[in-house]
Structure 1
């Protein structure tokens, strides 16, 4: 039986800050959702790689909840970390904060959960370290992970069933 190491959630913590430029905006002059989703996948993949210290692939983007629009006068601040692990899979939580660059006011703009699988040098799923939550936020996410796992499984089964009737 393989021995599993342990890592704290904060060991996989990643930050990214970007300005919102005119080319990043949609017809409402707010950050284009696809641009934000790219940022989210980027930071989450780095968190997963830091936790596993292996190659990782995005298995699912479970949710992206856009809470408020991010304006062109804002910066967008993302933070991500591994919040729960399975055997080779890792749930990554991403928090997005919009900061008004003139006033300094910060607001939670979006949250997201993604799942990554760690791969060894042969491209096969590999065992990842257990995760140790410490902060109140980390503990809360860790303790509610089983509910999200059930939802992911149900959604995947629904998608596989639905795929049998989708025409190509």
Structure 2
């Protein structure tokens, strides 16, 4: 199975934050952001594997700034690294004040997906070819994140 460039999995999702998406601070619910993250990362991992996928883990979700009512939220995701049947997906999130054009980094996260065959069993996925500096840095540090996730799973009660 030939490796694929990370750019082929790159996926962008943009939404406007409406009242139903917000908490009593008039900022987006963290859970809503997580829902958007899972959606955009699912698409990225399916683009890479061309298989059905399931979310295996979500980690390193770091919030930096709130997204306010009426702002746009933009999520960008791409596959950074693969193991046999799993794919690590990086998601970066920005908000944009649509009236002023001001943008800010809102959050980042890593999610892991497993590709499934037609019987619902894990199936191999292509490797990744990082091309940009960002892709290369994330690729080079991915195995350490994989090991940390595995250790965390192995030590759960």
TM-score normalized with structure 1 length = 0.91
SS in 2 for 1:144: helix
Give 1:10 shift.
0.6
Whether 2:151 is the aligned partner of 1:154: answer yes
Query: Is 1:81 paired with 2:61?
Result: no
Residue 18 (structure 1) aligns with: 15
Query: Which of the numbers 43, 50, 55 marks the counterpart of 2:52?
Result: 55
Over aligned residues, Cα RMSD in angstroms?
0.8
Matched, 1:118 2:115: yes
Q: Does 1:145 align with 2:145?
A: no
Q: Which runs of 5+ in 2 are unaligned?
A: none
Q: Residues of 2 paired with 1:11 and 1:151: CA distance?
A: 27
Pairing 1:103–2:100 present: yes
Task: Look up the match of 1:40.
Answer: 37
| CA distance in structure 2 between the partners assigned to 1:90 and 1:146 by the alignment | 11
* Alpha-carbon shift at residue 93 of structure 1 (Å): 0.4
Alignment of 1:121-132 (within 5 A): 121-132=118-129
Measured in 1, the distance between the counterparts of 2:101 and 2:114 equals 37
Runs ≥4 in structure 1, deviation > 4 angstroms? none
State the Cα deviation string for residues 121-163 of structure 1 (Å, max 9, x = none). 111111101100001110000000011012101211222xx2x
SS in 2 for 1:95: strand
The structure that has the greater radius of gyration is 1
Deviation at residue 73 of structure 1 after TM alignment:
3.2
**Structure 1 gaps, min length 5:** 163-168
